[in-house]
Structure 1
């Protein structure tokens, strides 16, 4: 329960501890496909009516699938919390999966993949990069939306089996944010989710190693590319797997090295030297398995990929040689903490943060302690984290370029 009295509205989020990384090769896309099918109705709520009922009551709803979780959320007037909780509990166990509904929805999902992946060169490149980084056919290597052939082959029994294995109250997290009380949420939760029988949930398996034969380089030349991109991804520990002691320092490192327009990469490569149009670094620690630390640059028109790679390598070397100050670390920490504070103004951000954490093995206490743990990161820990992750034997370099003339 995340109380807020700023407006007479509430957001309910139910997050299931299952995502695309819980699938197996040959059955990819099941988590995302099932997310779509959860809107296809029960005996109590006909197909398509869930969202229409929410809308008629002045609310909005949606859902998402990630590698590690699947979430369903509604934002609505506070007095309608019981309505959305009753409907969400109903589809936790009573969704109707029929061939009549699956066939047209399969085409919707295939079109979604065509629009977001097959027609986007950067997305096609990213799929290959993940396969190299995490290992072919391994969790996190396979796309959340699934491979096209798998989407075409998934049937009623595939989705029903996935639903039975993973959709149960003991494998879900209920988060309610907004203008209500803990007592009210507990009362409604016990009334609607309480009667649903628990199920045995199998272990969630994630490899502790990535792809083999690293480092690797992946190049995609495509006539549709208007803006080239150079990027490099390293296998990195998360909160749960690998050298987890580096997780907080890596967040600070990503922020100070390329997390903002005033960070090192942007300042040096974009503003001072004009090598790149933009530059960034990113890292996410909330993963049930290994994660990645990413650096990327869009080169300026007059600059080559070689110019970019040399410049990034030089900036990395400066940092690894000890060229990071306590002031720089403190500035990055303050930026991270400020962003976390601002996110509390949103009824969406708070539930998403807790949902992500609780679905990947962290606790409420871990989320609440995050500011203190970020604040405690030292300059030496940032350097140690960089030296641990920035190693050739854990990297994939990716180049996205326009197709050569005549190609």
Structure 2
């Protein structure tokens, strides 16, 4: 039997347990037979209707939280694209036979995403197991004991839900702190003399995917010179933000006194050896000399900068590539290369979130970047940065941080 012979609609209807498909707007798209049987509803009572119009909270129970908890879980799945297993829920259901009468019910829900070709959530799988019979007394000699067990389980489920809420709040606070730290540490364009510079930073999709990437711009002494760098710290969240801040500050100081970009990365690599969390961090730095119209560059395991020449020719600056900052136990002098440019050229530095995609060869990814730059080469740096992000980033956002610096030379 091959895939074309499988009737997946029939498989869905025959699934054991209660399963419903919801649209991102939380409207029932389909339900299986077990779902209809256990809820006592007809298909026309559910399909095409908003979830919480069909199953609202019990209006007679001011402490009811089932609807709020379920809505929060479904929104998490939509936001993260990841499955969410809920704690045991009390979620009363209005009787079909006795309108206005609410039946005390207990459920164990699991919500999972169905992703489309673009990686966005197109459907939600809402699987529910009713556990009322396991925790509710059915009368008889053991009824009192069952009531105690029911109360204990319900209390524990509420405590677990509250703990989950507190953890999510803590993660949200961590994200806020990390973003604030990032904003304070990353330089603004106005801090350098060169005006034709555009910078962009796009945090990754997800609650804590922040502050892994960074960029730096430093006016250099001795002529009209500018150092432009980008880097990537492994990991996300507040810890990555702290490491990012240390490395960026160290490279800023090193660039001001170094003879060239390789020497600056030498110093940064030695410093990375004593920074916890700097393992496998990458960076690339360029020293632009506007008087001589040259760019000296060196890379520590980072993707190559792109030089878009005034005539539309694309040059990847990949002739001075070395391992990541903390890769060698005994640091060695790093390579350095130099290239020239004419007035009107554009230098672009970026991090891997801009180009790398799962199951795509990196050469194809870099070709997409080159094509975008050539297509939009007549735009000013600000407009060019926006156009590149639009062309290369997925519509729903990337799964990794993205830093982008565009310098008109």
Bin the TM-score by the shorter chain.
Answer: under 0.3
Q: Comparing both structures, which one devotes a greater share of its residues to strand?
A: 2
Larger relative contact order (C-alpha < 8 A, sep ≥ 6)?
A: 1
Larger radius of gyration, structure 1 or 2? 2
TM-score (norm 2): 0.21
Q: Comparing both structures, which one devotes a greater share of its residues to helix?
A: 1
